[in-house]
Structure 1
């Protein structure tokens, strides 16, 4: 694992050396937030943009790699800072607690997402051509962007939580929804999946949910290792397939 992380760091340096990546400071009231923007060198028609909501540890190598990859394809990209300066989790235990707080206080979560969306637009993105994507905790956030009525074309959740409090009213969902889900993901129970699917039906959403065989939680993240028995593991085939499904989704919703 140590050698892998070292190689990842080297790859990041080499990749980002040619990308217009910059840190962006913004605020939620008095709370300073530190997002990351990546500006495409070769821009495509209509200046579409992607907002990335990272996993529970906050902005990480994986979210930066995804951002750089998308920017190379011509998209404006912004990675949201949900927690804010001085509040970044030091380990998984802290991350679990902090992510849990935002899952309970969805209004606060939605506000941080909306503020990041504003930053994406200010980069020069066409506000009519935006998609929100998220990984794990961020996947939950992508669905919250749709639930809260944000003016985006689509949302994509990669191995994210799907549930919402049963006391919350289901309202119409206008953005198109793509959920990329590990078929063996034990972090998302069957009743949560059924509840989500009912919500999509009741919300009259244009949605799709794709299952990936032999994939558990965090299947897109190489640093998760490859031991499915731990419930969290990388799956190269599922990673590649979900990326292609994401590309097809972008082509459809941003046409």
Structure 2
């Protein structure tokens, strides 16, 4: 009987140890209240690798939370950034487009919100010199802005994100390694913008890679996007799985762990 109790308590202890939970974190940009989420790695190590997650244009969603939990199981600290802040969360796609458009145009404000979220990731336990930024859609644009803004990150990953920048902005050297995961049939990313992005990468002599996924359109990682490619945004299970595997390869290469 005692042995049985010992086994039960031992199994319970292991289960608790192997489960990490997302915790809400309130922080600020001046007077603007921001509400993010942090999660610690299931198994910690001395290198303390961290991943900052930038959500899509509707703000923090199930995909960003699920991703944070998956990364925790792989041994990473993770933090989900709140770019918009209290009182500014979009109620629909129309509002989301307007608010996201503001940050795309005012990229320095976007970079500042990303920097503040990086501070929270570090406060959660990640090493300041061992961080990667990843983002989805609008967040993918933000990941590239983290690289363009010379934030202290080892690499950035954009999933079906906007790739362009204002042609009047100067092209500066990029030191962060870059991975772009792109739907081959994404109708929302013009070929001109893709060409311009690739030229930017070559001109800056960046360490970059861009992977195209067949039969995938915009938002291919998000199960909540439906599966109708004709709508321009749809989930593609195979592309989602492949892109996550490519993310893991990138993280293993870029971060100390």
TM-score range, shorter chain: over 0.9
Which residue number in structure 1 is paired with residue 119 of structure 2?
A: 118
Query: 1:18 deviation in Å?
Result: 3.7
Which residue number in structure 2 is paired with residue 248 of structure 1?
A: 249
Stretches of structure 2 lacking an aligned partner (at least 5 in a row): 1-17
Superposition CA RMSD, Å = 1.0
Q: Distance in 1 between matches of 2:202 and 2:41?
A: 37
CA contact (8 A) 1:220 1:234 kept: yes
1:68-121 deviation per Cα after TM superposition (whole angstroms, max 9, x unaligned): 010111100000000001110001110011000100000100000000001001
1:140-182 deviation per Cα after TM superposition (whole angstroms, max 9, x unaligned): 0000000000010000000000000000000000000000000
* TM norm structure 1: 0.92
Q: How does 1:33-48 map to 2 (within 5 A)?
A: 33-48=34-49
Which residue number in structure 1 is paired with residue 7 of structure 2?
A: none
Q: How does 1:112-191 map to 2 (within 5 A)?
A: 112-191=113-192
Which residue number in structure 2 is paired with residue 9 of structure 1?
A: none
Q: How does 1:1-255 map to 2 (within 5 A)?
A: 18-255=19-256
1:30-54 deviation per Cα after TM superposition (whole angstroms, max 9, x unaligned): 1000010011231134010000000
Q: Distance in 2 between matches of 1:235 and 1:104?
A: 30
Q: Distance in 1 between matches of 2:61 and 2:252?
A: 26
**Secondary structure at the residue paired with 2:68?**
helix
CA contact (8 A) 1:49 1:75 kept: yes
CA contact (8 A) 1:20 1:41 kept: no
**Secondary structure at the residue paired with 1:20?**
coil
Q: Distance in 2 between matches of 1:48 and 1:18?
A: 18
Stretches of structure 1 lacking an aligned partner (at least 5 in a row): 1-16
**Secondary structure at the residue paired with 1:186?**
coil
Q: Matched residue pairs, number?
A: 239
Runs of 4+ in 1 over 3 A off after TM superposition: none
CA contact (8 A) 1:19 1:40 kept: yes
1:198-249 deviation per Cα after TM superposition (whole angstroms, max 9, x unaligned): 0001111000000000000000000100000000000011001111111000
CA contact (8 A) 2:136 2:161 kept: yes
Q: Distance in 1 between matches of 2:190 and 2:46?
A: 41
